[in-house]
Amino acid sequence: MLKNIHKFLDIKTIFKKSATIIKKVVTMHKINVIQCFSGAHFLAGYPGACSNLHGHNWKVRVQLVSKGTNELGIAIDFKVVKEKLSNLIQKLDHKYLNDLEWFSERNPTSENIGILIYNELQKAFKEDGVTVSEVEVWESDNTSVIYCSE
């Protein structure tokens, strides 16, 4: 019996050591940039007032992640992030969103706007050493939706 307890303790010690080896701290920088746009839309099939043409002043927050910095200590220049986000936002700003090609087969909901921005920026930042982590789309001061990677 004592012999079996000894084997159990050895297994427990081995498990603790392997868990320590597996435990690795991953550090990163999270970069956030916010921009706004105004647009009109309606939600086809929605059982309420949003099925009528109406507008919003949307706020979009984009979060990028970087596992390192350059020699100056910068993960990515905010100017670059603002420019790439602005180029995309200009395609939405003061537009009737239902008329845009991307929304031809889907409602221009905040959720779908988030997916569009996430996917387009993921492509735009492909060579910049950062990844889009999440996109938050605010439809009003009190409501937002976040589209993110796992």
Give catalytic residue positions.
Answer: 50, 94, 139
Is 39 inside a domain boundary? yes
| pTM above threshold 0.75 | yes
pLDDT digits (tens, 9 = 90+) for 54-96: 999 999 999 999 999 999 999 999 999 999 999 999 999 999 9
Residue 65's CATH number: 3.30.479.10
Res 24 pLDDT > 70: no
Residue 106 domain-assigned (yes or no): yes
Q: How many domains does the chain have?
A: 1
d(CA 25, CA 10): 26
Task: Please indicate, yes or no, if residue 89 is contained in any of the structural domains.
Answer: yes
Say if 11 falls within a structural domain.
Answer: no
Domain that holds residue 108: 29-148
Average pLDDT of the chain to the nearest whole number: 89
54-66, strands of its sheet edge to edge = 95-96, 29-41, 54-66, 131-138, 144-148
**Looking at the domain assignment, is residue 124 inside a domain?**
yes
In a domain, 88, yes or no: yes
Closest CA to 131 of 72, 58, 68, 37: 68
CB-count exposure of residue 22 (10 Å: 0-12, 13-18, 19+): exposed
Determine, yes or no, domain membership for 7.
Answer: no
